[in-house]
Amino acid sequence: MSIHDSLDAHAHVAPSSAAQPRLSVVIPLYNESGSLGLLHQRLSAVLEAMPLAAYEVVFVDDGSRDGTYAEVAALCAIDPALKAIRFARNFGKEAAMAAGLRAASGDVVVLMDGDLQHPPELLPEMLARWREGAMMVTAVRRSRDTDPWLRRQLSRAFYLFFRKVSEVALAEGGGDFRIFDRAVVDAINSLPERTRFMKGITSWVGFRQEEVEFEPEERAAGASAWSMLRLLRYAIDGLSAFSTLPLRVWSVIGLAMAGLSGVYGAWLVVRTIIFGIDLPGYASIMVSVLFLSGIQLISLGVLGEYIGRIFTEVKGRPLFLVSERIGFDGPRESSR
Ligand code: UDP
Ligand code: MG
């Protein structure tokens, strides 16, 4: 009983009530062939047991290099509730989530990872919260024990820093395991930006948000696709998308530097008048020249980060390119 079936077969049915919503599950996949079978099994078992009018599962294959798409296609052939989108190459998890959210048609949409670190068994509890009126329910990790130590510390530092400098507060430990009301999905879909940072976006849109706790499982198979460097890039993307403090802070630093230089300059003038000219001073000149050029280069770098992002936004390229799709017969949704 996919959403598609129910739409085609009973086009006249009344809009579903809160008791029997139509549910979409969006799952980004990148080289997840090892866990697909088990994922489909566990997810279907949970979904079949839930009181839903209909459900669909939208797999977004983010340019996997292994047999992921072939396996997804095979699953789609046996299970009409499954749909698939295949990207032309790897566009990143954020793009995959954006594509899935645009393709999902349910009254309630779930976003979850495809490596079974997000247990499908949590869905009934999350849906229950939605029934009680929550517009967005985030599954928050109780511990990050499955992550390496350094990564845990860096992630904590990032959340702390982010809270200090940005306009939105991120839930620490809140990954991308969420359930959204249709209104929230429409709000997220209406954001045109290309540098996507889902953690920030979900917090920015507002609505009534609640959390449930869960214990993340180990990956069912394969390895995490997130290297340290990729995480760092992701962190910088997130910060620049939700804070302009790195840009503004330079005026304060510049002002402080100018003030100090003014005082020092005045002292030099007075000293020269009183004690006459003395030449030594190589060290202080070198230090101030080097220090100031360092500061200037840093601020130029920060400017560069933002200008680079303006450039990507202005180019207006699509967020992703789709090469194949299964189960979507209607008009294509835009990738802008
Ligand atoms: N993923 C994706 N595109 C990517 C990297 C990851 O769609 O470029 C998917 C991946 O298949 C998984 C989810 O995003 O479903 C989370 O990825 P991963 O498990 O590697 O991240 P972690 O759990 O380590 O944060
Ligand atoms: Mg994972």
The closest residue, in CA terms, to atom 24 on ligand 1 is 224
**pTM greater than 0.85:** no
Question: What are 25's two structure tokens?
Answer: 């599950």
Residues having CB closer than 6 A to ligand 1 are: 28-30, 32, 62, 90, 92-93, 96, 113-115, 117, 224-226
CA of 223 to the centre of ligand 2 (A): 8
Q: Is the pLDDT of residue 52 over 60?
A: yes
Residue-wise pLDDT for 131-188, tens only, equals: 888 889 988 877 666 677 887 888 888 888 887 877 777 776 667 889 999 999 998 8
**26 pLDDT tier (thresholds 50, 70, 90):** very high
Percent of the chain with pLDDT over 90: 24
CA of 263 to the centre of ligand 1 (A): 54
CA of 241 to the centre of ligand 1 (A): 21
Residue-wise pLDDT for 231-282, tens only, equals: 888 888 888 877 777 887 887 888 888 888 888 888 888 888 888 877 777 7
